Amino acid sequence: MTFTEQLLQELAEAGGRLIKSGSGPELEKWPSRVATARRSGRIPETKELYGGWCRGGYEIKLVNMPAWRLAPLEPVPVPSRLARPHSVVRAMQNEPQPLGLTKSVQGRALRLIQALIIATENAGHSSAAGQTGFAPPPHRRHRASPHFTITAQGQTVEFLVLQEQDRTEHVATEKELAEAKKKSWIRIPRFDYTPSERLRFVLSGGQPHRASEWSDTPGRSLKNQLAEIVQEVTLRGEAAERRRLDEIEAARQKRIRWEAAMDEARVQYAEAYRVRHFEAQEAAWRHATGLAEYVSAVRTRVDAMPQGQTRTEAETWIDWAATRVERLDPLNTPPRLPDIPEPRADDLRPFLGHWSPYGP
């Protein structure tokens, strides 16, 4: 039994997921073993083998291939000449050196872009030209401005078209050797780089599915990979749309929870207001009872006073005080629940927990 067959058997027995634990060289071999298994040709056509480090060690999974990877792709026709160039391609043609490419590959690159844009527009997407007259250095290509963009369902995918470089061993000239001998800071380059006939499309923006780069290879030209790029743009647009709808639904659910919290806060606010009103009535009753006792004590003292102006003035005060006590005593009116005033935002804040009274 080969290693791949043994691994597939273990995955089948484990339900499609394994975690190889341990330490040292034995554990470190698993990434290369998984890569070997992928190349073996023994992985079922409808399955994909994944490997990656996790907290417990190295995780290996055999999962069903997504439906989009199994879908047949229609080849994208590439025109033999640009009879009616798209406006994006026309913007490139107007540059002295379109896309920063050498003349030997400019025509082919523009025809590939024309075919790609027409195919994506037929799928309902839109395109726009970017900075069409430059080629970014290799170390900045992932942050460079795009040559053109294609937008699918609101998701903009940026494209750079690059010319691959051939690398050869550099043979130092006599002049370079002499300069390096005289000046210690001069370094003779190890390699020479020359533009090749191969092209590379670099995509950025959105959620990658198949890949983010496509290039000419000995076995497959970019022409034969355009259908995958068209599908990639569509998949990124669909993923963006799903994410947008998920965000809308998440916001809707959040608002529902917030509105429920606000309703509950209003209920709690009303109850708290009634309790405060109740406590205020009890405090008013105690206050009025105390005042009534005081007025009664004053009346007893005044009744013992001799007739005269002083007693008359005291009796006038007693009449006034008794009236005030009667008004202050809440028991003199039938009890009823208070009217609840409309709460302000800050009135509800103590009952909302982590929510804001101003919105979800």
Span 78-105, pLDDT tens digits: 999 999 999 999 999 999 999 999 999 9
Does residue 180 have a pLDDT over 90? Answer: no
Residue 48 DSSP code: E
Predicted confidence at residue 218, as pLDDT, reads 92
Q: How much is the average pLDDT of 277-284?
A: 95
Predicted confidence at residue 191, as pLDDT, reads 86
**H helical segments located in the chain:** 3-13, 25-28, 30-39, 67-70, 87-93, 103-122, 174-182, 226-303, 309-328, 345-348
- Find out whether 160 and 148 touch, Cβ atoms under 8 Å: no
Predicted confidence at residue 222, as pLDDT, reads 97
User: In the chain, where are the structural domains located?
Assistant: 3-65, 87-245, 268-351
Q: How far is Cα of residue 101 from the mean position of the Cα atoms in its chain?
A: 35
Structure token pair of residue 138:
């290799």
Predicted confidence at residue 253, as pLDDT, reads 97
Does residue 266 have a pLDDT over 80? Answer: yes
| Nearest C-alpha neighbor of 160 from the set 119, 101, 210 | 101
Predicted confidence band of residue 122 (pLDDT cuts 50, 70, 90): very high
Does residue 142 have a pLDDT over 80? Answer: no
Residues 332, 348: Cα–Cα separation, whole Å: 33
Give the CA count within 13 Å in the CB-facing half-sphere of 106: 18
Amino acid 65 reads M
- Find out whether 42 and 49 touch, Cβ atoms under 8 Å: no
**Sheet containing strand 213-215, strands side by side:** 126-129, 148-152, 155-169, 191-204, 213-215
Q: What is the mean pLDDT of the chain?
A: 93
- Find out whether 10 and 30 touch, Cβ atoms under 8 Å: no
Does residue 314 have a pLDDT over 80? Answer: yes
Structure token pair of residue 20:
């190889």
Does residue 288 have a pLDDT over 80? Answer: yes
Tokens 């690159």 correspond to 109
Pairing between strand 148-152 and 126-129?
antiparallel
Predicted confidence at residue 192, as pLDDT, reads 86
Q: Which of 53-57, 301-305, 352-356 has the highest mean pLDDT?
A: 352-356
Per-residue pLDDT of 2-46, as tens digits, reads 888 889 999 999 999 999 988 888 888 889 999 999 888 889 888
| Nearest C-alpha neighbor of 106 from the set 97, 115, 118, 116 | 97
Q: How much is the average pLDDT of 301-318?
A: 92
Does residue 241 have a pLDDT over 90? Answer: yes
Amino acid 22 reads G
Does residue 238 have a pLDDT over 90? Answer: yes
Pairs from 307-315 (Cβ < 8 Å, separation ≥ 24) = none
Q: Structure pTM?
A: 0.75
Predicted confidence band of residue 313 (pLDDT cuts 50, 70, 90): very high
